[in-house]
Amino acid sequence: MYTPNQEILEKYADVLVNFALREGKWINPWDVVYLEIPECAKPFLIPLQTAILSAWWHPIINYLPDWVARNFYENSSDEQLSFVAEEYRKWKIKAFTHKIRIISDSDLHELDGIDPSKIMKKAKADRSLRYLREKKEREWKFSRVGCLYATESMAKEAGLSLEEYRNQIIDACFLNESDPIKKWREISTEKCRIRDKLNWLKLEYVHVIGPDEDLKVKIWGDRLWNASIWSNIPSFEIFTSPDCRDVNWRIRCNQPLYRYGTLVEWIRLEFKDWKVIKATADKNEDILHEMVKIEWMDRLWEFSLTDARISRITHFMAETLFDENVGWEYGNTHVALGLWFDECYAWDKSKLDDPEYKKSIWLNFSAEHVDVISTAKRNVVWILPDWEEILIYKDWKFVI
């Protein structure tokens, strides 16, 4: 069986600890790092623990056993699905300065046949204290990163061998470079250049035109474009949270969505004014319908573009972290239903501590954030406040 060598694992841990957590720019010795890692990613545990200790931080390890999720959903009552250990969750948010989450799965079909409404009820309960973590992030007192560790099940779902799947991760995270962090800084610089140009243009609308898309999205005056490297490794996208009240027309997504242990294929969404008026899929459409029923999930809360010159991801990976950053020939456009991004709000972010204020400016507390992705050839026209149109993304790259 193929396993990445120790040097690769150590480079990966170095990127996560010494770059992804805000590049250590405000991190202090003896900060507390919460490391969440599943049993199937065990080979990665010691390199991560070593990197955290070498940075003079305190690691707290949450080692997640395989094969327990299905048993929980099969045997839990409604009360157990809705339960939140509120004081414990509050303590975690207060105690930890950073979080590293390893995404890995020993069996992507573990939840096959489980009622999607049960999974979504649990997701809604888990969302209840997220606003406390977001507040701590806005105050620069907390940082987090998620990354992928490959398993046989994940590779099989993507139609790759385990070695091919792991090589996608190695290439995408620049772990085959002599200095991966240096390369990530170069990527960050280019993404920030594009982000700053988009914010300077003060776009009123974006209009996506292609064989699978004819979508017009209002950006609104208090929104920012974001190019965050942090939070996910890898991250190549340039994104914003648009004004959900003015989204029209259609998008068809040629990339599958892997959600709740189920593959949803060829998603088609139609919008009118501010709402999804039609949602269809060629496979597992019932899962899509359940998602759209969740509060705030019938509106568009993210618009994102990826430049194919930046991303090294060249294959479907059956995991949104990678699939929303895929490069391929034409880069990707993706939109998301559900939770919006606080970091895309342009004005005084301290006001976002007030839930009523967030509601007043159409921000939301959705339990979910689901990305749907198209890699079809397309152009993107940006419409300025004076209605001037600028072609800014053509075929596979930004042209600004």
DSSP state string for 212-248: TEEEEEE--TTB--B---TEESS--EEEE---TTSEE
- C-alpha–C-alpha distance, residues 388 and 261, integer Å: 45
pLDDT of residue 1: 54
Q: Which residue has the tokens 């920012």?
A: 224
Bridge partners, residue 345, by sequence:
223
Measured in whole angstroms, the distance separating CA 319 from the mean position of its chain's CA atoms is 10
In what side-by-side order are the strands of the sheet with 58-64? 58-64, 32-38, 98-103, 143-148, 231-232
- What are the residue ranges of CATH 3.40.1830.10 in the chain? 6-178
- C-alpha–C-alpha distance, residues 248 and 70, integer Å: 39
pLDDT of residue 263: 84
Which of 122, 41, 30 has the alpha carbon at shortest distance from 75? 122
Which residue positions in the chain have pLDDT lower than 70? 1-3, 24-27, 128, 229-230, 367
CA atoms within 13 A on the CB side of 322: 29
Q: Which residue has the tokens 């720019």?
A: 25
pLDDT of residue 382: 86
pLDDT of residue 38: 96
Q: Which residue has the tokens 């309960």?
A: 125
CATH number of 6-178: 3.40.1830.10
Question: CA 358, 364, 357: angle at the middle one, nearest 5?
Answer: 10
pLDDT of residue 103: 96
- C-alpha–C-alpha distance, residues 156 and 318, integer Å: 9
Task: Report the DSSP pairing between strands 98-103 and 32-38.
Answer: parallel
Length, in residues, of the chain: 400
pLDDT of residue 395: 78
- According to DSSP H, which parts of 139-284 are helical? 152-158, 162-172, 180-201
pLDDT of residue 35: 97
Side chain identity at residue 26, one-letter code: W
By the 8 A CB rule, do 368 and 294 touch?
A: yes
- C-alpha–C-alpha distance, residues 12 and 184, integer Å: 12
Side chain identity at residue 6, one-letter code: Q
- According to DSSP H, which parts of the chain are helical? 6-15, 45-54, 69-75, 78-82, 86-95, 116-126, 130-138, 152-158, 162-172, 180-201, 285-293, 320-323, 355-360
- Measuring CA to CA, how many Å separate 265 from each of 17, 217, 271, 282? 35, 24, 19, 6
Task: Dump pLDDT digits (tens) for 36-86.
Answer: 999 999 999 999 999 999 999 999 999 999 889 999 999 999 999 999 888
pLDDT of residue 292: 87
